[in-house]
Amino acid sequence: MTGIIDAVTGVELSGDRLAGAIAAAAGQLPDTGIVVCPLRPEMDAVLRYLGALSTGRPALVCDPDAAGALAARFGSAADVHPDLALMLATSGSTGQPRLVRHSAAAVAAAATAIVKALRIGAEDVAVTSLPLFHTLGLSVLHSHLLAGATVVLEPRGVLDAGFWASVERHRVTAITGVPHTFELLARLPWEPARTPHVRSLAVSGGRLRDALVRRFAAVPGIAFYSMYGQTEAGSRICVLPPEHLPAKAGCVGPPVDGMELAIAAGGEVVCRSETVMLGYADTAADLARGDDCGGVLPTGDRGRLDADGHLWLTGRLGRVGKAYGIRVDLDAVEHVAGALAPAAALAGDDRVLVWCEGLPAARAREVAALVGRELGIHRTAVLVTAIDRLPRRANGKVNYDALPV
């Protein structure tokens, strides 16, 4: 039976009680305009959001810390397109947040595809291990509620003992994370025997080191899913089924149901699906716009499709530096260096700059030599800095702007 559990307050709602609570929350919404939803993993916040969805009101889901600024920019929209159902904040090219606009049909189609790809059933219990105001965390809520499953609202992270107490108390079966989540689980280390009900792990939001993919995929009784998605595509684009591991470690798998992939000039991955966004919004006036994308999204990612139609990502367009005049793919640098430590790379002045998390400073030359050898550049063109922790955004991705250049 579909249910929501607030791990902090202990409040549990399911069935008719949940439906009634959502209806009550919907009845308290403003009569007109978009509904700004600062989405914390708390019962009242989630009910307000679900109330907006249930009544067809366009919901702007956002980080609570950014709610005031986003409401000031977009909350006064006098005209909103009738297809608009969900808006999620993402970074614009100028650093100013912009909104990704989704229709109700796209939200439903994305959740349906995820339920099938991850084999989610009514008996499953997911925990909110990621922010709900980001597409991956929100998709966990959508897909599990659609499947009739249970979602545990847990504000604490995987380093907190309270998180694991909730996992055990509520018999959580599924944990979804970004690569940083699984780096942390590897360091704890996570002991599967202490959480026997957990039987599904899923990673998206970047490339997890192949060694860790193999490590988690080898845990007895665990189905490990490698995934690929974008906010603009309705969260998931590809999901690699567990039975393809470890043979296809590093692959993100076939497209989810309803998603078609093509590789364009320059190796760019292009997807076509009902789940593709309507378009961006930079101003309140943009909320009146209809479908700007026509179901087609050039992802900005480079990749290739293998003989099985499975996608292998090879980097981002434009993520290129130079080392003594030789072009170097910065994502490839991170992947190679990642064999020794979580890494971030940027282009320097005819050098490649690499930061390695938790690496002893004495091993910096070892990383430089490995990158140079694997990518065919001179090791002295690779400048490696050991750092205690890579700076990260709320979604777990590296904050390149905050690296100590």
| Predicted pLDDT at 207 | 86
| Predicted pLDDT at 91 | 63
| Predicted pLDDT at 94 | 44
| Predicted pLDDT at 199 | 97
Peptide bond into 360 cis (omega under 30): no
- pTM for the structure as a whole: 0.86
114, 145 contact by CB (below 8 A) = no
For domain 318-402, the CATH architecture is: 2-Layer Sandwich (3.30)
In this prediction, the residues of the chain whose per-residue pLDDT falls under 50 are 93-94
Superfamily designation of domain 3-260+271-295: ANL, N-terminal domain (3.40.50.12780)
Question: In the sheet where 3-6 sits, what is the strand order?
Answer: 12-14, 3-6, 150-153, 125-127, 174-177, 200-203, 223-228, 238-240
Domain ranges of the chain: 3-260+271-295, 318-402
What does each C-alpha distance from 134 to 24, 33, 50, 130, 183 come to in angstroms? 25, 22, 16, 8, 20
C-alpha torsion angle, residues 127, 133, 137, 139 (rounded to 10): 120
| Predicted pLDDT at 311 | 97
What does each C-alpha distance from 64 to 94, 97, 188, 239 come to in angstroms? 22, 14, 29, 30
